[in-house]
Chains A and B, each alone.
Chain A
Amino acid sequence: MTVTLIMLALVIAGALAWRAETYWQGSAKWLALISLALLATVFAVFVIDYAINHNNDFAQLQVLSRVNWIKTFNIQYSIALDQLSIVLIALTWLLAIICALVSWHEIKRHVGFYYFNLLLTIAGIIGVFVAVDMFLFFFFWEVMLLPMTAIIAIWGHEKKHFAALKFFIFTQVSSLLMLVAIIATGYFHLLQTGQLSFYYLDWLMLDIPLSMSQYLMLGFFIAFAVKLPSVPLHSWLPDAHTQAPTAGSVLLAGVLLKTGAYGLIRFVIFLFPQASTQFAPIAATLAVVSIIYGAKMAFAQQDFKRLVAYSSISHMGFVMLALFAFNSMAYQGAIVTMVAHGLSSAALFSLAGMIYQRIHSRNLADMGGFWQSAPRMGGFALAFAGAAFGLPGLANFIGEFLSLVGVFQVLPEFAVIAALGLIGSAIYGMVLFQSSFQGTPTQDIIDLQPRELIICGSLLLMLLAIGLYPMLLLKFSFGA
Chain B
Amino acid sequence: MMSITSNSAPLLTMTIASAILPQLIIAFGITLALLLVAWKRSQRTIAVFSSLILFTALLANVSLLAMPTTQVTQLLKVDGYSRFAFSLILISALVALRMSHSFLKAHIEVHDEYYLLLLLLVLGAGVLVTSDHFASLFLGFELLSLSLVGLVGYHRESNYSVESAFKYLVLSATASSFMLLGIAFIYSVTGDMSFNATTVSAIHHQQGLALFYQLGLLLFVSGIAFKLSIAPFHFWTPDVYQGAPTPVTMLMATISKVAMFVVLLKCIIAQRYWLHDNFQLFLMSFAVISMLLGNVMALKQQHLKRLLAYSSIAHMGYLLIVIIVTSAQSLAFTWQSALFYLAAYTLANLSIFIVIALIQQQNSRVVFQEDILLADLQGLFWRVPSYGLLMLLGLLSLAGIPLTMGFIGKFYILSQATIAHAWWLIATLIIASGISLAYYLPMIFKIFADAPSDRLFDTQKMNGKVKALEGHIIEQVLVYSFIVFGLVFGILPEVINQLIASVSKLAN
| A contacts, CB < 8 Å to B | 69-73, 109-110, 138-139, 142-143, 146, 149-150, 153-154, 161, 164-165, 168-169, 172-173, 176-177, 179-180, 183-184, 187
Contact = CB atoms under 8 A, between A and B. Distances in A.
B414 A179 contact: yes
A187 B418 contact: yes
Given A173-B431, A184-B418, 19 more contacts: A70-B408, A70-B494, A72-B501, A139-B402, A143-B402, A143-B403, A146-B403, A150-B448, A153-B448, A164-B445, A165-B438, A168-B437, A169-B437, A169-B441, A173-B434, A176-B429, A179-B414, A180-B414, A187-B415
Nearest to B439: A165
Contacts of A161: 442, 445
B430 A71 contact: no
B494 A169 contact: no
Interface in B418-445: 418-419, 426, 429-431, 433-434, 437-438, 441-442, 444-445
A356 to B, nearest CB: 20
B494 A69 contact: yes
B502 to A, nearest CB: 12
Interface string B452-468: 00000000000000000
B438 A172 contact: no
B232 interface: no
B442 A110 contact: no
B497 A173 contact: no
Contacts of B497: 70-72
| 8 A-B pairs with least C-beta separation | A173-B434, A142-B402, A72-B497, A176-B430, A183-B418, A139-B402, A153-B445, A169-B437
A213 to B, nearest CB: 15
Contact of B438 (A69, A142, A154, A169): A169
User: Chain A at the B interface: mostly helix, strand, loop or mixed?
Assistant: helix
A72 B430 contact: no
A187 B445 CA distance: 37
Contacts of A187: 415, 418-419
19 contacts: A70-B494, A71-B497, A71-B498, A72-B501, A73-B411, A138-B402, A139-B402, A146-B401, A146-B403, A149-B441, A154-B449, A164-B441, A164-B445, A165-B437, A169-B438, A173-B431, A176-B429, A176-B430, A187-B419
A172 B435 CA distance: 11
A143 B497 CA distance: 22
Interface in B39-69: none
Contacts of A143: 402-403
B434 A70 contact: no
User: Chain B at the A interface: mostly helix, strand, loop or mixed?
Assistant: helix
Given A72-B497, A142-B402, A143-B403, A180 B441 contact: no
B471 interface: no
B421 to A, nearest CB: 9
A245 to B, nearest CB: 14
A149 B438 CA distance: 13
A73 B414 CA distance: 13
B493 interface: yes
Contacts of A150: 448
Given A72-B494, A142-B401, A146-B401, A165 B415 contact: no
Interface of B: 336, 382, 396, 401-403, 407-408, 411, 414-415, 418-419, 426, 429-431, 433-434, 437-438, 441-442, 444-445, 448-450, 493-494, 497-498, 501
A165 B434 contact: no
B466 to A, nearest CB: 15
Contacts of B415: 73, 183, 187
A165 B444 CA distance: 11
Nearest to A191: B419
Given A72-B501, A180-B414, A173 B430 contact: yes
Nearest to B403: A143
A460 to B, nearest CB: 36
A183 B437 contact: no
Contacts of B433: 172-173, 176
A459 B429 CA distance: 44
B505 to A, nearest CB: 13
Contacts of B419: 187
A177 B497 CA distance: 24
The CB with the most chain B CB atoms within 10 A, among A71, A110, A154, A179, is that of A179
Contacts of B438: 165, 169
A254 to B, nearest CB: 23
Contacts of A110: 382
Given A143-B402, A146-B401, A172-B433, A70 B493 contact: yes
A161 B431 CA distance: 21
A154 B446 CA distance: 10
A184 B396 CA distance: 24
A384 B430 CA distance: 41
B418 A168 contact: no
A123 B216 CA distance: 56
A478 B467 CA distance: 58
A260 B407 CA distance: 22
A153 B443 CA distance: 12
Contact of B430 (A69, A164, A180): A180
A177 B430 contact: yes
Given A150-B448, A168-B437, A71 B402 contact: no
A168 B441 contact: yes
Contacts of B429: 176
A20 to B, nearest CB: 16
A187 B429 CA distance: 19
A164 B402 CA distance: 18
A123 B434 CA distance: 26
B418 A180 contact: yes
A165 B493 contact: no
B403 A165 contact: no
Nearest to B385: A113
A172 B448 CA distance: 20
Nearest to A141: B402
A469 to B, nearest CB: 41
B495 to A, nearest CB: 10
A70 B407 CA distance: 13
A177 B414 CA distance: 10
A153 B336 CA distance: 37
A280 to B, nearest CB: 25
A295 B389 CA distance: 43
Contacts of B441: 149, 164-165, 168-169
Contacts of B442: 161, 165
Contacts of A183: 411, 414-415, 418
Nearest to B340: A72
A224 B438 CA distance: 22
Contacts of B434: 169, 172-173, 176
